[in-house]
Amino acid sequence: MDLNLRRRFFAEELEAVCKLQSSALVEAFAAVPREQFLRSGPWTVVADVDFMGPPRTRATPDADPARVYHNIGVAIDPARQLFNGQPGTIAVWLDALALAPGARVLHVGCGLGYYTAVIAECVGAGGRVVAYEVDDVLAAEARQHLASRRWIDVRRGDASEAIGETFDAIVINAGVTHPLDTWLDALAPAGRMVVAVTSDMAAMGATLGKGVVFVLVKDDAGALSARVLSVVSIYSAIGLRDADLNARIGKALMDGPMKWASVKRLRRDQHDEVDTCWLHGKGFCLTG
């Protein structure tokens, strides 16, 4: 099959299986060459995912680019269990952001830049994408891969410092214990944020965690609604995790889905912890 046709089938399969609403997102997956945002093949890919343990991997038989146009994670660094994430997972996140032409987007944890490129296709040259990557080598490679898309600004860092601008959409592409004030402040009115709140799990290795993905939406008054998008197993953000909250998230997850599915908002005001608080922290609370 022609590689362009393969990419088109891949995008339409994501649309069908993930129930994507955004036609622009489907077109972006059909347009962006995934293999150009990976190191040379053959590739190590996820063969099976056990939510209670690290993913099992296999090697592709060869370096044919068609091998990466499946709903599989492809290793960026197998030794660190660092992957170019499963498209069916990230596509759902990006679909929830309702990306529109001209939108301003913050992408934290861009890796080698594949999903940043997908985002950039959705917002077009009239939009703006600021992408952060904490790893020096990955950030440098992402900058090279994305250089032709002038509306993308790739920065080395963790986006924990004040960014100095606001965004219509924010996606945190790693597991954190809490959304940072920096990100919440940078979210524009009517803006949406996708963030994975996770607990590091010993059985999954030092770099992986599991948890719940939330969609936050800011209203004109600055209040933040919240809803659960999915559960997830994901690489943990480097330097952005709180040890106390990590332990508390692990306990909160054990309360089961009825509890975390009841979360309806993120409060930033000071208040006492009550039964409706799923995760109550300093300066934030995910609550019913």
On the CB side of 181, CA atoms within 13 Å amount to 8
Cα separation, 174 vs 196, in Å, equals: 7
CATH 3.40.50.880 fits 3-287, yes or no: no
Please work out, in degrees rounded to the nearest 5, the angle formed at the alpha carbon of residue 154 by the alpha carbons of 23 and 101: 25
The confidence score (pLDDT) of residue 268 equals 95
Per-residue pLDDT of the chain (288 residues; tens, 9 = 90+): 699 999 999 999 999 999 999 999 999 999 999 999 999 989 999 866 555 556 688 899 999 999 999 999 999 888 777 889 899 999 999 999 999 999 999 999 999 999 999 999 999 999 999 999 999 999 999 999 999 999 999 999 999 999 999 999 999 999 999 999 999 999 999 999 999 999 987 655 557 889 999 999 999 999 999 999 999 988 889 888 998 999 999 999 998 888 989 999 999 999 999 999 999 998 899 999
The confidence score (pLDDT) of residue 55 equals 67
The confidence score (pLDDT) of residue 205 equals 54
Provide the 8-state DSSP code for 237. P
Domain positions in the chain: 3-287
Q: Exposure string (b/e) for 235-274, b if CB count within 10 Å is 16 or more?
A: bbbeebbeeebbebbbebbeeeeeebeebebbbbeeeeee
The confidence score (pLDDT) of residue 49 equals 54
Cα separation, 138 vs 136, in Å, equals: 6
